[in-house]
Structure 1
Amino acid sequence: MCVASTPQPPPPGRLTRRGVLAAAAALAGTTAVPAAAASASAASASAASASAASAAAAPDSAPGGADLVVEGGRLLDPATGEVTEDAVVVITGGLVRAAGPRNRLGGKVPAGVRVLRAHGQWILPGLVDAHIHLNTAAEARDAVRKGATSARSGSTSFYQDIAVRELARTAPELAPRLRAAGIFVTPDLGDTLLADPDLAPLARLRGGVRSAEALRRVVEVNLARGADTIKTRVNERAGLPEQDPLAQVYDHEQLSAIVAAARRGGKGVLCHSYSEKGCHDAVTAGIRSLEHGAFVGERTLYDMRRRGTYFTPTLTAIAGLAESSDPILAERGRTYLPVLQRAVLAAHELGVPLAAGTDSSGGTVDPIGREVELMRAAGLSALDALRTATTGAARLLGLDGSVGRLVRGYAGDLLVVDGDPLADVGVLTRPAHVVRAGITVRQA
């Protein structure tokens, strides 16, 4: 069944900046966004799109950044593995102005600027959570406090992530720098049909969102509402005992239609997956990153390396299933986790790019440091595990020129930890200090 008897025009972009964005802000519990959305609604849809594109290209230039000097600790650069003793990091207006040993900075340390002393501690860039569901302002704030200064949304039900992204641009201490995914492209939208009037024609579809036209429609609504990426699925969920995570819900042709619609808007696709065939269909359809992917096969990993497809295994979420009080979920977690750990190590050894993501949702935010810890447990070196949440994840999000390192011109986002992360990555789960755009958001 088609979306409608006649072709539907593309959804108007103006609704993003007024009604939908304001509603998303209300659902997310933010207050800064609606006023901005109302003022922006006076601009044309094309101007709004251009503004969003500009902000996405320079996410670290958002207003609200502060000046800060962090001094005295050991500075770790994940890109090179270099450790600088007695380091100083100078942040001005939310950006790194200088970073290096104290004896080389000379007069670059400004007078009268607030100082965070990190003697005996380690300094490293803020971490990136490449798969997280942020539905409220409280969750966004919690993610930052636990070390995720940048993130990619794994979708929300009512565009709350769009509002959280805007909150992060105006009040960076309250939310991670965010790549928003909008709503999930899935066969059964459920109450998400109420997220946007342009989804209403899908309500009467027999069998749900499955035709090429319906799939394209959901992608187009997401793009018109300002999504930075598109989230879809190939398998059912592992976290619901009544579902079979190996059951496939979209085939290669349907996934290809989603990817094509996203590419027309200049966006990539992240795909929820579990089964071997599902993973292969998703990768060969052209997705940007494979999420979960417990049973990904060797042939698919080779395809991923050739295509540059990222693997975001969300080990934290799978490990969490093993601790469930539901016996089905607990058994599923115990079975899937070692399989997924082997897949992670095989991917790493083949050269498949990895990104850390917690898949936090439902009001509970797991520290992104826990995902790094599980990457290490899967067999990666401590430095390579750290890279999955810094330089690697930054490349996936298109932020590799501004996030993941502490060098001149990069975002003034950092963690201070009480221990050597190259000896024990577990210190990342309990940062002593978290700084977002020069603003201290967590302090021991």
Structure 2
Amino acid sequence: MCVEPAPPPSSRLTRRGVIAGAAALAGTSALLATATPDAAAARRDLSSGGDLVVDGGALLDPATGDVIEDAVVVIKGGVVRAAGSRQQVATHVPADAPVLQAHGRWILPGLVDAHIHLNTAAEARDAVLRGATTARSGSTNFYQDIAVRELARQMPQQAPRLRAAGIFVTPDLGDTILADPDLAPLARLRDGVRSAEALRRVVEVNLARGVDTVKTRVNERAGLPEQDPLVQVYTHEQLSTIVAAARRGGKGVLCHSYSEKGCHDAVRAGIRSLEHGVFVGEHTLHEMRRRGTYFTPTLTAIAGLVDSSDPILAERGRTYLPVLKRAVLAAHNLGVQLAAGTDSSGGKVQPIGREVELMRAAGLSALDAIRTATTGAAKLLGLEGTVGRLRPGFTGDMVVLDGDPLADVTVLKKPACVVRAGLALR
């Protein structure tokens, strides 16, 4: 059964209907509405960011690997105006700006979590405090990520700068159909979202709601014991339909994947990034390098399966993690671009520094592991000109660390302080 002819999705619902409901579910509308008049005025003043001088500390540029001792970073209106040695920056330091002392510490750009599920304002705040000042959504059930993205724009200290994916393009939408009246015709499909018309419809509805990227899958899930992550749910042709529909809206596609055949079909279909990809093989990695396809392995999520109380999931974790580490190192050695993502979901946010730690454990150098959560992930998100470095014109996001991450990347898991758009959070 195909979708019956229906009018194009209505973009008018984006703010006044569907997304308003998503904001209520995410708790973002309540957070914005509870501000006092004075706090609301302050929020408007800080929506573009704050002013801050970070004084002292060793400044690491992930792009070059250069380290500047006793550095100073000047942020104005949430944007870096100067960064370098004390002598270089001295004439740019305003007399009245707040100062964050970083002597004896290390200064890095804010980290990027390229695969995370943020369903609530509380989760968004937790992600920032754990170092992820920028993120890409791995989808939400009811467009909550679009609401979180708006929260980040109005109150940057409350949420990472976010690339939203909206709802998952998957055969069984489940209760997600209730999220949007323009999805209602899909409820009558006996076989789920599989026909070309149905696949295009879900993508088009996402685009009408204002997503930044589209999320789909090629395999079943590893985190559900009743599913087999090596079973393929979409063919190359179906994936190509999804990619083509997303491209018509100017968006790329991230694809949940596990099996080698599924990975290869997804890459050939033209996806922007391969997610998880435990059993991706050398043949597909070569194709990824040729096409410029990114690899977001989400090692944190796979490692987390090891501690599951379910024996099937625990065994998957023990089996999959070493395979995925080998795939990550093979990808890196072949020149495939890697991006760090925790795949945090279900209310528990993992520090993006944990993913960097696992990248290092897979065999990457400390600097290359850091790049997966800075310059590499920023490029995947199309933010390489504003995120991932602390240079003039870049966003004033940073993590201040108690130790040298080039000697021990685990210090990234517990930042001493996080700065979001020039606003020091702790």
Which TM-score band applies after superposition, normalised by the shorter structure? over 0.9
Q: Tell me how far apart the structure 2 counterparts of residues 435 and 161 of structure 1 sit (CA, whole Å).
A: 22
Q: Secondary structure at the match of 1:318?
A: helix
CA contact (8 A) 2:220 2:229 kept: yes
Unpaired segments ≥5 residues, structure 1: 36-60
SS in 1 for 2:28: coil
- Amino acid in the other structure paired with 2:317: G
Distance 2:416 2:304 in 1: 24
Which of these residues, 19, 22, 46, is aligned with residue 20 of structure 2?
A: 22
Q: Secondary structure at the match of 2:255?
A: strand
Partner of 1:65: 49
For residues 31 and 235 of structure 2, the distance between their equivalents in structure 1, rounded to whole angstroms, comes to 38
Instruction: Give the Cα–Cα distance (whole angstroms) in 2 for the partners of residues 34 and 87 of structure 1.
Output: 36
1:349 matched to 2:333: yes
How do 1:10-409 and structure 2 match up within 5 A? 10-31=8-29, 63-409=47-393
Q: Give CA deviations for 1:129-184 in whole Å, capped at 9, x if unaligned.
A: 00000000000000000000000000000000000001000100000000000000
Superposed CA offset, 1:320-353 (max 9, x none): 0011111100000000000000000000000000
Task: Give 1:9 shift.
Answer: 2.1
* Per-residue deviation, 1:237: 0.3
Letter in 1 for 2:261: K
2:24–2:30 contact (8 Å) kept in structure 1: no
CA RMSD of aligned residues (A): 1.2
Distance 1:222 1:73 in 2: 44
Alpha-carbon shift at residue 440 of structure 1 (Å): 1.1
Q: Which amino acid in structure 2 is aligned with residue 15 of structure 1?
A: L
* AA of the residue aligned to 1:236: E
Query: What is the TM-score when the length of structure 1 is the normalising length?
Result: 0.92
Spell out structure 1 runs of 4+ moving beyond 6 A: 32-35
Give the Cα separation in 2 of the matches to 1:297 and 1:99.
42
Q: How far off is 1:33 after superposition? A: 8.8
* 1:411-430 alignment, distance < 5 Å: 411-430=395-414
How far off its partner does 1:18 sit? Answer: 1.0
| Cα distance in 1 for residues equivalent to 2:32 and 2:16 | 8
- Return the alpha-carbon distance in structure 1 between the equivalents of residues 320 and 90 of structure 2: 53
| Amino acid paired to 1:398 | G
Deviation of the 1:107 alpha carbon: 1.7
Deviation at 1:31, TM superposition (A): 2.0
Q: CA deviation digits over 1:91-148, x for unaligned, max 9?
A: 0000001000001112210011110000100000000000000000000000000000
Q: Give the letter aligned to residue 411 of structure 1.
A: T
AA paired with 1:233?
R
| SS of equivalent to 1:362 | coil
Identical pairs, percent: 81
Residue type at the aligned position of 1:293? G
Cα contact 1:32–1:170 (8 A) shared by 2: no
Q: Secondary structure at the match of 1:246?
A: coil
Q: CA deviation at 1:32?
A: 7.0
Report the counterpart of residue 3 of structure 1 in structure 2.
3
Query: Number of paired residues?
Result: 415
1:34 deviates by 8.2
Distance between the aligned counterparts of 1:299 and 1:14, measured in 2?
45
Q: What is the DSSP-based 3-state SS (H/G/I as helix, E as strand, rest coil) of the residue aligned with 1:363?
A: coil
**Equivalent residue for 1:54?**
none
Do the aligned partners of 1:21 and 1:34 also contact (CA within 8 Å) in 2? no
Provide the C-alpha distance between the structure 1 equivalents of 2:356 and 2:393, rounded to a whole number of angstroms: 26
Report the alpha carbon displacement of residue 64 of structure 1 after superposing the two structures with TM: 3.8
CA distance in 2, matches of 1:105, 1:359: 38
What is the rounded CA distance, in whole Å, between the counterparts of 2:369 and 2:91 in structure 1? 35
Contact kept in structure 2, 1:25 and 1:34, CA below 8 Å? no
Q: Is the 8 A contact 1:125 1:405 kept in 2?
A: yes
CA separation in 1, counterparts of 2:52 and 2:18? 36
Q: What is aligned with 1:439?
A: 423
Q: Is the 8 A contact 1:33 1:163 kept in 2?
A: no
CA separation of 1:11 and 1:34: change in aligned 2, threshold 3 A: farther
Is the CA contact 1:62–1:169 (under 8 Å) kept in the aligned structure 2? no
Deviation at residue 21 of structure 1 after TM alignment: 1.4
